C-alpha cells in the first residue's frame, strides 16, 4: 500500500513539472540563449581567425568580418535559429549603431564647415561634390530602386557614395603605418571632413524624407503628400534644432563640472559617470518622441558635445572597446542573415552591371574630384589618385543603410550589391598604401651616406651646426682632428641654428614682399653680430692652417618644430655624410653643464630620427678649451669605445680618420662579454634571435679586424680589451676614463652585447645620447671629458613600415 502511494506521489510531481508552462518556457529560453551564445563565440573566433590569416596581406579587419558574416549568416540550419530572434536582432543592431554614431559625432569638429577650408577640407569637398553630381546623374539609369520615391533614394545613394567611413580609414592608415606621413595625415583629416559633411547631410535630409515615408508604412501613407507631411517635417526640424541647442548649451557646463571633479590620474567617481551617461542617453533617446531616427539623433547630439576633456575621451574609449569586442561580431552576423544569398539574382547580367557601376561611380568620380582639387593645390597626380582611392573607403554605417535599403524601396539583390561594393572600396587600400610607400622610397636619397661606406679616396662632407659663438672652439678642434689628409680633403658647411621667434616672424611679415626669414634674421643686430663672430673664427682657422678644408656658411632660421627638416634638407642637398649637432646643454666655466634648451633637444632628436646621413652629437666639456691641436706633437688623448652594433662600427670608421692626425693619441677600447661569468652562461642577447646575433657579431668582427690590421698593427694606436660580465662593470670602466682622455667617441646604440649596457636605460637622462653616451655626459662623470656620440645612417632599404613622418607630397 505504501509503495503504491509513493509511486502515485512521484507521478504527481513529474506531471506538475511537465504541466508547468513557466518552467518549460524558462528551459526553452535558456537553451536558446545558450545556442546563440555559442554562435556568438564561434563568430568572434572565426572573425579573429580569418583576420589573422589575412594579416600577411595587410587586409583591414572589416574585410574578414564581412567575409565571415556573409558565410555564417547564410548557413541553412543557423538561419532557422536567427528567425526566432529576428526582432531582437533588429533592436540590438539599432542600439549598436546609436553607439557608433554617437562616438563618431563626438570626434567631429562641427565648426569646421564655418572655417576657411584647409587643404584637407578642399580635397574632401571636391571629392564629395564630384561623386554626388555623378551619382545623381548616373544611378537612376540602372534602376537600383523601384517605387515613387526614386528621387529621394537617388539623393541618399549619391550621398553615401560620396561619403567616407573615417573610423575605418583612420584605423587602416594607422595599422599600415603611414599615419605620421604628410599624405597619411592629409587622408585622415580629409576622411573626417567627408564623413562629417555627408552624415550631416543625411541627418538633415531625414527631416525632409523620413524613413517611415520612405518605406511606405500604412501609418504614414496619409502623410506622403500635402500639408500633413510638411507639418511633420517642420515639427521634426524644430525638435532636432531644439535638441541640438539644448545639448550645445548644457553639455559643456555639465561636462566641465565632471572633468573638474575628476582630474587626470584619479579614478572617476561612479555617481558622476552615472549622471553623465544618463544625460547622454536622454539627449539621444528623446528623438523617438517626434519620430526622428535615434541613430541620426545620436550623431547630432555627439557633434554638440565638447570633444576635449577626460569624460569625452572616456566615452569614446569605452564605446570603441564595446563595439570592437562585443557588438561588431553580432553586427556582421545580422548582415549575413539579412543578406540572404538565396535571393541574390546572380544569374542576371543586370545585377553585375549595377554592381560594377556602383564601384566605378564611387571610385572614378571621387578620384576625379581629388585630382582636380590636387592640381589646384599643386599636388602630384599620383598622390591625388592615391588620396581619392583611399577616400572611397566605406564602413559599418554604409553596410547598415544597405541592409535598410532591402526593406525600403530596394530588394535583396540591391542590398547585397551595395555590400559587395562596400567590400571592394576597402579591398584595394593595402595596395594603394604599398604604392605610396614605394614612391616614398624612390624619393628618398639614393646615395649611401654612412662613414663606414665612404671610400678612402672620397671627400668627407660634414654639416657642422652651431648655436652661437660659444660652440666655435670645440667645433674648430673637431674639424682639426677630422681633417685627414689634404687629398681628398674635407668639405664643411658651418650652419647657424637660429630660432624663428615671434618677433622675427612679425618682422618678416612686415617686410616688403612678404619677407624672407634669413634676411630678416641677418637684419637683427644680435644675430648678425653672433654670425659675424662665428664666420671670422672659422675663416681665421682656415687661413692659418686649413689646407684641404673647404668652408661654406649657411643658416637655418626656423621654429624648433621645423628646424630639423631644414637641417635634413640641407644635408640631402649637399650630399653630407655626417651631421654634427651641439648638445643642447652648454658648458659652464666651472666645468658643469647647464639645464639646456629643450627646443634644441627636440631638434637633435628629430634629426637623429630622420637624417639622410650619419649624425653626431658633440658634448663639449673641455674640447673647446684646448687652444690649438699641434701636428708636431701629441696635443690630445682620444678614446673610442667599441661594444658592437652598426653605430659602434660607424664610430670606429670615424676613429680611423682621427687616427691619421699626428697630434692625436688614439686609444681603442673594445668591451667584450665575459663568457666565463656565471651570470652570462645561459643568457643571450636581449631581444635578438640567434641568427641576428650571429650576423651582427660577424659584421662586428669583420669591421674590427679591418680596423685592427689597418691602424693598430703598426703600433701607433693603443688598443685594450675589457672582458666584462654586466653593466656595473661597464660603468666602472667608464669611470676610469676620468682625467685620461679629453674626448671619447662612442656609438649611440649598443649592438648584440647589450648585456653590457642592460639597466643603464633605467637612469638615462638623455636617451638620445644612448646608454654609454648618457653616462659619460652625466653629472656624476668627469667634467673634463668631452663626448662625441655617433649614429650610423639608417639606410633607406631598412625602412620596413615607414612608421615615420616621411614626406612624399612635394
Q: Are 454 and 577 in contact (CB under 8 A)?
A: yes
User: pLDDT at position 223, please?
Assistant: 46
Q: Is the pLDDT of residue 297 over 70?
A: yes
How confident is the model over 727-739, as a mean pLDDT? 80
Least confident of 94-108, 390-404, 409-423, 754-768: 754-768
Q: Is the pLDDT of residue 517 over 60?
A: no
Q: Is the pLDDT of residue 679 over 80?
A: no
Q: What is the pLDDT of residues 227-240, one digit of tens each?
A: 666 777 788 888 88
User: pLDDT at position 213, please?
Assistant: 57
Q: Which one has a higher pLDDT value, 787 or 751?
A: 787
Q: Are 190 and 387 in contact (CB under 8 A)?
A: yes
Q: Is the pLDDT of residue 35 over 80?
A: no
Q: Is the pLDDT of residue 277 over 70?
A: yes
φ and ψ of 486, to 5 deg: -65, -35
Least confident of 72-76, 333-337, 424-428, 588-592: 588-592
How confident is the model over 97-123, as a mean pLDDT? 86
Name 40's Cβ contacts closer than 8 Å, sequence gap at least 6. Answer: 329, 330, 333
Exposure of 353 by Cβ count < 10 A (0-12 exposed, 13-18 middle, 19+ buried)?
Answer: exposed
Of 61-70, 153-162, 592-601, the range with the highest mean pLDDT is 61-70
- Cell numbers 509511486: residue: 7
Whole-angstrom Cα distance, residue 47 to residue 49?
5
DSSP characters over 687-753 = T--HHHHHHHHHHHHHHHHHHIIIIITTSSSEEEEEEESSHHHHHHHHHTTTTT-SEEEEESS--S-
Q: Are 593 and 556 in contact (CB under 8 A)?
A: no
SS3 content of the chain, % helix, strand, coil (to 5): 65, 10, 25
Q: What is the pLDDT of residues 388-428, one digit of tens each?
A: 999 999 989 999 988 887 777 567 888 888 899 999 999 88
Whole-angstrom Cα distance, residue 112 to residue 104?
15
The separation between CA 229 and the C-alpha centre of its own chain, rounded to angstroms, equals: 48
Q: Which one has a higher pLDDT value, 81 or 597?
A: 597
CB atoms within 10 A of CB 424: 16
Whole-angstrom Cα distance, residue 242 to residue 787?
67
Q: Are 195 and 302 in contact (CB under 8 A)?
A: no
Whole-angstrom Cα distance, residue 741 to residue 666?
9
- pLDDT grade for 220, boundaries at 50, 70 and 90: very low
Tell me how many helices (H) and strands (E) the chain has. Answer: 31, 10
How confident is the model over 448-455, as a mean pLDDT? 72
- pLDDT grade for 805, boundaries at 50, 70 and 90: low
Name 761's Cβ contacts closer than 8 Å, sequence gap at least 6. Answer: 767, 771
Q: Are 656 and 710 in contact (CB under 8 A)?
A: yes
What percent of the chain stands above pLDDT 90? Answer: 9
Q: Is the pLDDT of residue 74 over 90?
A: no
Rounded to 10°, the helix 86-107/270-285 angle is 110
Least confident of 507-516, 548-557, 771-780: 507-516
pTM of the model as a whole = 0.63
CB atoms within 10 A of CB 796: 17
CB atoms within 10 A of CB 414: 23
User: pLDDT at position 334, please?
Assistant: 87
What percent of the chain stands above pLDDT 70? Answer: 83
CB atoms within 10 A of CB 405: 24
Whole-angstrom Cα distance, residue 109 to residue 106?
8
φ and ψ of 212, to 5 deg: -60, -35
Q: Is the pLDDT of residue 127 over 50?
A: yes
Q: What is the pLDDT of residues 774-796, one digit of tens each?
A: 888 877 776 778 899 998 876 54
* Residue 470: C-alpha distances to residues 20, 296, 625 (Å): 95, 63, 11
Name 242's Cβ contacts closer than 8 Å, sequence gap at least 6. Answer: none
How confident is the model over 261-283, as a mean pLDDT? 80
Exposure of 208 by Cβ count < 10 A (0-12 exposed, 13-18 middle, 19+ buried)?
Answer: middle
User: pLDDT at position 513, please?
Assistant: 45
User: pLDDT at position 228, please?
Assistant: 66
The separation between CA 566 and the C-alpha centre of its own chain, rounded to angstroms, equals: 22
* Residue 687: C-alpha distances to residues 540, 647, 690, 691 (Å): 50, 18, 10, 12
Least confident of 93-107, 492-506, 510-524, 552-566: 510-524
Q: Which one has a higher pLDDT value, 76 or 747?
A: 747
User: pLDDT at position 493, please?
Assistant: 92
- pLDDT grade for 257, boundaries at 50, 70 and 90: confident
The CA radius of gyration of the chain, in Å to the nearest whole number, is 35
- Cell numbers 597619411: residue: 184
**Cell digits for 349?**
547580367
Whole-angstrom Cα distance, residue 751 to residue 648?
8
- pLDDT grade for 449, boundaries at 50, 70 and 90: low
How confident is the model over 292-306, as a mean pLDDT? 86
**Cell digits for 507?**
618682422
Q: Are 464 and 556 in contact (CB under 8 A)?
A: no
Q: What is the pLDDT of residues 195-219, one digit of tens each?
A: 999 988 888 888 877 666 556 544 4
Name 587's Cβ contacts closer than 8 Å, sequence gap at least 6. Answer: 470, 593, 620, 621, 622, 624
User: pLDDT at position 520, please?
Assistant: 59
Mean pLDDT over each residue of the chain, to the nearest integer: 80
User: pLDDT at position 443, please?
Assistant: 62
Helix (H) or strand (E) holding 252: helix 227-261
Q: Which of 183, 201, 202 is nearest to 191 (CA)?
A: 183
Starting at the edge strand that comes first in sequence, how are the strands of the sheet with 460-466 ordered? 549-558, 490-499, 460-466, 578-582, 614-619, 786-791, 743-747, 636-642, 664-673, 718-724
DSSP collapsed to 3 states, 570-623: HHHHCCCCEEEEECCCCECCCCCECCCCHHHHHHHHHHHHHCCCEEEEEECCCH
User: pLDDT at position 687, please?
Assistant: 47
Helix (H) or strand (E) holding 463: strand 460-466
Least confident of 23-27, 336-340, 494-498: 23-27
User: pLDDT at position 799, please?
Assistant: 43
Least confident of 167-181, 308-322, 326-340, 745-759: 745-759
Whole-angstrom Cα distance, residue 87 to residue 289?
21
Amino acid at each position: 500500500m505504501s509503495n503504491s502511494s509513493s509511486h502515485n506521489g512521484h507521478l504527481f510531481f513529474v506531471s506538475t513539472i511537465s504541466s508547468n508552462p513557466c518552467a518549460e518556457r524558462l528551459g526553452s529560453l535558456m537553451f536558446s540563449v545558450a545556442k546563440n551564445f555559442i554562435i556568438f563565440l564561434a563568430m568572434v573566433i572565426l572573425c579573429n581567425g580569418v583576420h589573422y590569416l589575412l594579416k600577411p596581406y595587410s587586409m583591414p579587419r572589416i574585410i574578414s568580418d564581412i567575409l565571415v558574416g556573409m558565410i555564417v549568416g547564410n548557413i541553412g540550419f543557423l538561419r532557422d535559429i536567427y528567425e526566432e530572434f529576428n526582432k531582437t536582432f533588429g533592436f540590438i543592431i539599432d542600439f549598436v549603431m546609436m553607439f557608433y554614431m554617437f562616438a563618431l559625432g563626438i570626434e567631429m569638429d562641427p565648426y569646421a564647415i564655418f572655417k576657411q577650408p584647409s587643404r584637407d577640407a578642399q580635397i574632401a569637398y571636391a571629392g564629395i561634390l564630384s561623386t554626388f553630381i555623378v551619382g545623381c546623374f548616373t544611378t537612376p539609369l540602372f534602376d537600383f530602386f523601384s517605387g515613387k520615391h526614386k528621387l529621394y533614394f537617388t539623393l541618399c545613394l549619391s550621398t553615401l557614395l560620396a561619403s567616407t567611413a573615417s573610423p575605418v580609414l583612420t584605423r587602416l592608415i594607422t595599422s599600415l603605418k603611414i599615419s605620421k606621413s604628410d599624405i597619411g595625415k592629409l587622408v585622415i583629416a580629409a576622411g573626417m571632413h567627408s564623413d562629417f559633411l555627408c552624415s550631416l547631410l543625411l541627418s538633415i535630409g531625414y527631416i525632409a524624407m523620413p524613413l517611415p515615408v520612405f518605406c511606405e508604412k500604412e501609418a504614414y501613407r496619409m502623410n506622403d503628400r500635402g500639408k500633413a507631411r510638411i507639418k511633420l517635417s517642420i515639427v521634426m526640424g524644430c525638435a532636432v534644432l531644439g535638441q541640438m541647442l539644448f545639448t550645445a548649451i548644457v553639455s559643456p557646463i555639465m561636462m566641465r563640472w565632471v572633468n573638474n571633479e575628476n582630474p587626470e590620474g584619479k579614478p572617476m567617481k561612479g555617481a558622476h559617470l552615472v549622471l553623465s551617461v544618463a544625460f547622454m542617453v536622454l539627449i539621444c533617446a528623446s528623438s523617438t518622441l517626434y519620430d526622428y531616427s535615434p541613430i541620426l539623433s545620436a550623431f547630432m547630439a555627439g557633434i554638440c558635445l565638447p570633444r576635449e576633456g577626460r569624460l569625452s575621451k572616456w566615452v569614446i574609449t569605452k564605446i570603441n572597446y564595446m563595439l570592437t569586442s562585443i557588438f561588431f561580431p553580432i553586427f556582421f552576423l545580422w548582415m549575413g542573415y539579412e543578406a540572404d544569398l538565396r535571393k541574390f539574382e546572380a544569374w542576371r547580367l543586370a545585377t553585375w552591371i549595377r554592381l560594377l557601376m556602383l564601384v566605378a561611380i564611387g571610385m572614378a568620380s571621387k578620384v576625379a574630384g581629388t585630382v582636380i582639387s590636387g592640381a589646384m593645390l599643386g599636388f602630384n597626380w599620383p598622390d591625388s589618385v592615391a588620396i581619392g582611392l583611399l577616400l572611397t573607403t566605406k564602413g559599418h554605417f554604409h553596410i547598415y543603410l544597405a541592409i535598410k535599403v532591402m526593406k525600403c524601396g530596394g530588394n535583396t539583390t540591391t542590398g547585397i550589391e551595395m555590400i559587395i561594393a562596400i567590400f571592394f572600396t576597402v579591398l584595394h587600400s593595402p595596395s594603394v598604401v604599398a604604392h605610396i610607400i614605394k614612391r616614398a622610397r624612390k624619393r628618398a636619397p639614393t646615395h649611401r651616406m654612412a662613414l663606414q661606406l665612404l671610400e678612402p679616396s672620397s671627400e668627407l662632407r660634414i654639416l657642422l651646426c652651431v648655436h652661437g659663438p660659444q660652440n666655435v672652439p670645440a667645433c674648430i678642434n673637431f674639424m682639426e682632428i677630422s681633417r685627414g689628409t689634404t687629398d681628398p680633403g674635407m668639405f664643411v658647411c658651418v650652419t647657424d641654428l637660429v630660432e624663428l621667434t615671434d618677433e622675427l616672424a612679425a618682422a618678416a611679415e612686415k617686410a616688403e614682399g612678404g619677407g624672407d626669414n634669413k634676411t630678416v634674421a641677418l637684419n637683427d643686430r644680435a644675430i648678425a653680430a653672433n654670425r659675424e663672430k662665428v664666420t671670422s673664427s672659422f675663416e681665421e682657422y682656415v687661413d692659418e692652417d686649413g689646407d684641404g678644408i673647404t668652408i661654406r656658411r649657411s643658416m637655418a632660421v626656423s621654429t624648433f618644430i621645423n628646424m630639423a627638416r631644414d637641417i635634413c634638407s640641407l644635408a640631402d642637398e649637399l650630399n653630407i655624410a655626417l651631421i654634427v649637432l651641439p648638445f643642447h646643454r652648454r658648458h659652464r666655466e666651472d666645468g658643469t653643464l647647464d639645464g639646456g634648451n629643450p627646443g634644441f633637444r627636440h631638434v637633435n632628436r628629430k634629426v637623429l630620427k630622420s637624417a639622410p646621413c650619419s649624425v653626431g652629437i658633440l658634448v663639449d666639456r673641455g674640447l673647446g678649451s684646448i687652444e690649438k691641436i699641434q701636428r708636431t706633437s701629441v696635443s690630445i688623448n682620444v678614446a673610442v669605445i667599441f661594444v658592437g652594433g652598426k653605430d659602434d662600427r660607424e664610430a670606429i670608421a670615424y676613429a680611423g680618420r682621427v687616427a691619421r692626425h699626428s697630434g692625436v693619441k688614439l686609444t681603442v677600447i673594445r668591451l667584450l662579454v665575459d663568457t666565463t661569468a656565471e651570470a652570462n652562461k645561459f643568457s643571450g642577447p636581449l631581444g635578438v634571435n640567434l641568427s641576428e646575433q650571429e650576423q651582427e657579431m660577424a659584421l662586428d668582427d669583420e669591421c674590427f679586424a679591418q680596423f685592427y690590421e689597418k691602424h693598430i698593427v703598426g703600433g701607433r694606436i693603443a688598443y685594450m680589451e675589457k672582458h666584462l660580465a654586466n653593466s656595473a662593470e661597464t660603468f666602472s670602466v667608464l669611470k676610469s676614463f676620468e682625467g685620461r682622455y679629453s674626448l671619447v667617441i662612442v656609438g649611440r646604440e649598443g649592438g648584440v652585447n647589450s648585456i653590457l649596457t642592460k639597466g643603464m636605460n633605467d637612469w638615462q637622462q638623455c636617451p638620445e645620447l644612448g646608454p654609454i653616451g648618457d653616462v659619460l655626459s652625466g653629472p656624476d662623470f668627469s667634467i673634463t671629458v668631452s663626448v662625441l656620440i655617433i649614429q650610423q645612417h639608417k639606410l633607406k632599404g631598412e625602412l620596413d613600415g615607414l612608421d615615420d613622418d616621411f614626406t612624399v607630397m612635394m
